[in-house]
Amino acid sequence: MRLVLTSVQGVSDFKRVRSGDDRFAFLYLGRSCVVHEPFGDNSRYWIGPVEKDPPIDMTAIAESFSRFRLPFTIDQIWRPRLLGAVVTVAGSVLFALGVRGVLDAPALALSHLTAELSRGSSLNVCAWRTRWIWWSSIVAGVGGAIGISGIAVAFRRRWGFLILAIAAALGALGPWILKVFDLAKYPYERANILETVILIAFSLLALRGFLGGSGRTGA
């Protein structure tokens, strides 16, 4: 708020206030103005003079908000085509890994059985293989969704960011859901804090990219 308002010529003495539903106060062309949040919790702000008479033209302030974009919005850090290409490649890699995991499930199950027997342990091959196929299918599905989102972003379709945000969030939360309900049985199903943090951060950046064009201020 401060960044946008103080960039407007004629605005001075910007400060935070807590008076009713008023959030900020400033002078504009010598007139006392406020940033008002209706009901104290709203998706839009009202910005205008404390005294309505005489009328004052707030067009410059309204236009400054309509032009403003968050400096770290993901769709402004990189060009959409480059970002879309990177996301598409990442999604394709995940999809390929998931498919490969499904195809290699029988051989991997036997390999793990041999390893467990050499350590004097046992392994339910059928259960291990079934859950590995299920897990690999999820990885392939998430990778496919990410790949589709990358194509959408490359063609400047904002909904691509939303798909990317959802896919990353599912990838981050899935293992923890299994853990909470005590459904994780094998090492590859266990939640990893580092992976979770990275995916959540990526999901939030993608969500910001989706919301980047949305304004929340009114004048």
Q: How confident is the model at residue 213 (pLDDT cuts 50, 70, 90)?
A: very low
Total domains in the chain come to 2
Contacts of 76 (CB under 8 A, 6+ apart): 69, 70, 212
Residue 83 and residue 58 in one domain:
no
In a domain, 218, yes or no: no
Whether this prediction's pTM lies above 0.75 is answered by no
- For Cα atoms 127, 132, 136, give the angle at the middle one, nearest 5 degrees: 155
Residue 84 and residue 145 in one domain:
yes
Residue 84 and residue 42 in one domain:
no
pLDDT at 133: 94
More confident residue, 69 or 218: 69
Alpha helices for 55-158 (secondary structure H): 59-67, 74-77, 80-103, 105-118, 125-154
Cβ neighbours of 5 (radius 10 Å): 20
Q: Structure tokens of 22? A: 């008023």
Say whether pLDDT at 217 is over 70.
no
Domain-ending residue, one of 68, 89, 105: 68
Structure-derived torsion over alpha carbons of residues 160, 165, 170, 172, reported in degrees to the nearest 10 = 140
Residue 93 and residue 168 in one domain:
yes
In a domain, 201, yes or no: yes
Residue 103 and residue 189 in one domain:
yes
Say which residue the tokens 């691509």 belong to: 160
Domain-ending residue, one of 68, 83, 118: 68
Residue 152 and residue 169 in one domain:
yes
pLDDT at 218: 39
In a domain, 79, yes or no: yes
Among the ranges given (20-29, 120-129, 197-206), the one the predictor scored with the smallest mean pLDDT: 120-129
Containing structural domain, residue 132: 74-211
Among the ranges given (74-78, 107-111, 146-150, 202-206), the one the predictor scored with the smallest mean pLDDT: 74-78
pLDDT, one tens digit per residue, over 48-85 is 999 988 989 999 998 888 887 655 555 455 567 888 89
Domain-ending residue, one of 44, 68, 92: 68
Say whether pLDDT at 102 is over 70.
yes
CB environment 133-166: b (16+ within 10 A), e (fewer): bebbeebbebbbbbbbbbebbbeeebebbbbbbb
